[in-house]
Structure 1
Amino acid sequence: MAKPRCAEKQLEVCRWFINEGVPPKFQCCMRLSEQRHCLCGYMTKPVFKSYISSPNGHKFFDICRIPFPRC
């Protein structure tokens, strides 16, 4: 099965959790999992890097059971 195209907009459903620290919904974790192969590319952009590297970003990966990207 082909990987989904990298599309930052797909992660919009996760913004609330990262900004406010509320638990992510299933849809957010699913989208993150689908976009996992894109995360290192996203981290080259300052806005995304600050979200992903934030304390809430780390919690987010733990809750969704997705390894934090090693780029």
Structure 2
Amino acid sequence: WLYNLNIPIDDNWLIIGDFNFIRSSENRNLPGGYVNDIFIFNEIIGHLGLLELPLKGRSYTWSNMQGSPLLQ
């Protein structure tokens, strides 16, 4: 559905959400990642002409709030 969005060139859009995809294997705190999913997600971003806004602060947006957090 994301690939088929018809965003007019003259309009500005902000698309936010948890897409459950990563842009590169460096975006994970554990090794791995599905290279094909990374490729397709980046292809969609390029096709739509989207820009990724930089994160400020923590590298990850989710934490399990435990004494030894999974993500830091």
**Fold equivalence (TM over 0.5):** no
- Give the structure with the higher percent helix: 1
TM-score band w.r.t. shorter chain: 0.3 to 0.5
Look at both structures and tell me which one has the larger radius of gyration over its CA atoms.
2
Q: Taking CA–CA contacts closer than 8 Å with sequence separation of 6 or more, which of the two structures ends up with the larger relative contact order? A: 1
Using structure 1 for the length normalisation, give the TM-score: 0.35
